[in-house]
Amino acid sequence: MIAMRTLLRTHLRPMSGDDITQVADIERESFPSMWPQTAYRRELSNQIARYTVLTELRDEAAPSADPSPRTGVFGTLRRIVSGEPSASHEHLLGFIGIWLMVGEAHIVTVAVRERFRRLGIGERLLITAIEQASAYDQERVTLEVRASNEAARRLYEKYGFINAGLRKRYYIDDNEDAVIMTTPEIASSGYRALFSNLRDAHGAHYRDLWE
């Protein structure tokens, strides 16, 4: 974990083409194999894809004052859904991508910059993906995860994902199996209560580290 001297000032927004170089850097730290940058450029014009980045704001990158009510969780979600343009000179800490399929939001990728891990950023990105799925009236959220990635699997299980099967030899770099995981119906009262409690607990736990 990095040594924290001040609060990390963070911002969630849609990924833009200007982010791809930093996204590639984070991927290089995170995965044995990488998508080519051209793939991300195609994804940004994919009608079913939604990519979100979490950035560290610096003074020159702070968003301009906006009198409209766009702060907080719902303001953040409005910015992401509406495709608010990026600010300049931002330092990307992590990103997540989902595909809006028929009845489900499928998480296709998520990664956090190495020296900013264990600060709750991956969990915040997962929360964002579930919020987006709800905003787009998806029934469930699904994903694949490496069978050996126990930390990620524990996080997904915490958010109600269950094991839904196995894709044998799914990862081309080492032929590792992928575990298919899915949530129950995210609009159900039980899941909404679980998710709300976890989101609130996450915010309370990390409020002394980042805002």
Interval 7-47: pLDDT, tens: 788 999 999 999 999 999 999 898 877 677 788 899 999 99
In terms of Cβ atoms closer than 10 Å to its own Cβ (0-12, 13-18, 19+), residue 109 is middle
SS3 106: strand
The C-alpha R_g of the chain, in whole angstroms, comes to 17
Cα separation values, 204 from 59, 158, 197, 200, 208, Å: 25, 17, 11, 6, 8
Q: Under a CB-based contact definition with an 8 Å cutoff, are residues 14 and 52 in contact?
A: yes
Within a 10 A sphere around the Cβ of 15, how many other Cβ atoms?
Answer: 23
For the annotated catalytic residues, the residue numbers are 144, 156
Q: Find the mean pLDDT for residues 158-166.
A: 97
Closest CA to 76 of 150, 135, 36, 16: 135
Residue 63 is predicted with a pLDDT of: 46
**Contact present, 33 and 173 (Cβ < 8 Å):** yes
Cα distances (angstroms) measured from residue 67 to each of 74, 81, 180, 202: 15, 19, 43, 28
Task: Report the residue count for the chain.
Answer: 211
Nearest to 170 by CA among 155, 154, 151, 148: 148
Q: Average pLDDT of the chain?
A: 85
Kindly report, residue by residue over 87-132, the tens digit of the pLDDT. 447 899 999 999 999 999 999 999 999 999 999 999 999 999 999 9
d(CA 43, CA 151): 27
> pLDDT at position 208, please?
77
**Of 135, 196, 125, nearest to 160 (Cα)?**
196
- CA atoms of 185 and 206, how far apart (whole Å): 27
User: Which amino acid is located at 126 in the chain?
Assistant: L
pTM equals 0.83
